[in-house]
Each structure stands twice: as structure tokens, then as C-alpha cells.
């Protein structure tokens, strides 16, 4: 069955939108997976975990994540405090930080 060019263009556009949505969904899954891996690694080994003193998120790798329940960090309980990039930007926007 032959399709007219307009119908074919609509089908191709719809397929492109679906492919782009699938790519975005895959990127979200990958980002969440990286957080899970980082949290898992942090809970298995010794070291220090950083918590943002302003918003309470924990730093795992190069991401700051919300932890619904305060975790037990395996063999250690060493938590230091810092400030995440988002909170620094909020303080700068409010004129409270350089």
C-alpha cells in the first residue's frame, strides 16, 4: 500500500518523537542507576559521606541526592557537612554569598 508524502511525513515525525522520548527516558534511568550504584558503594566501604548543611541532601560521587530515610553507612558513621551547588547558587542569588 502506497502512502502519500504527507501521511509518510506524519508517520516519520511520530516515530521520531517516540524515539526522542525513549532516549530521554533511557537517560533518566541511567542517571538514577548511577545514583543507586554510588549509594551502594558508599554504604559498603569506609570513608566520609558529605551532607549539605542547607538542604540535607547527601553527596554520592558528583551527585547530590535526597535520602528519604537517614542511611546507615556500613562500617562507618562519618558524615561531614558541606554545601551543594544548588544551595550555593540560591545564596548567591539572595546576595548572601560571593
pLDDT at 76: 47
| Bridge partners of residue 64, in order along the sequence | 59
Three-state secondary-structure class, residue 70: coil
Please give the tally of structural domains in the chain. Answer: 1
Q: What is the pLDDT of residues 35-88, one digit of tens each?
A: 666 666 655 556 677 889 999 888 887 888 887 766 565 554 577 888 989 999
Confirm whether 98 is domain-assigned: no
pTM: 0.49
pLDDT at 17: 92
Confirm whether 69 is domain-assigned: yes
CA 65 to chain centre: 7
pLDDT at 48: 75
In the numeric block, the cell 535520602 is attached to 67
In terms of residue numbers, what domain contains 75? 5-93
Amino acid at each position: 500500500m502506497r502512502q502519500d508524502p504527507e501521511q509518510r511525513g506524519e508517520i516519520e515525525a511520530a516515530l521520531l518523537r517516540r524515539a526522542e522520548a525513549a532516549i530521554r527516558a533511557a537517560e533518566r534511568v541511567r542517571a538514577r542507576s548511577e545514583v543507586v550504584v554510588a549509594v551502594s558503594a558508599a554504604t559498603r566501604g569506609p570513608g566520609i559521606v558529605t551532607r549539605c548543611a542547607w538542604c540535607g541532601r547527601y553527596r554520592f560521587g558528583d551527585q547530590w541526592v535526597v535520602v528519604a530515610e537517614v542511611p546507615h553507612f556500613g562500617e562507618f558513621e562519618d558524615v561531614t557537612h558541606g554545601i551543594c551547588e544548588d544551595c550555593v547558587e540560591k545564596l548567591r542569588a539572595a546576595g548572601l554569598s560571593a
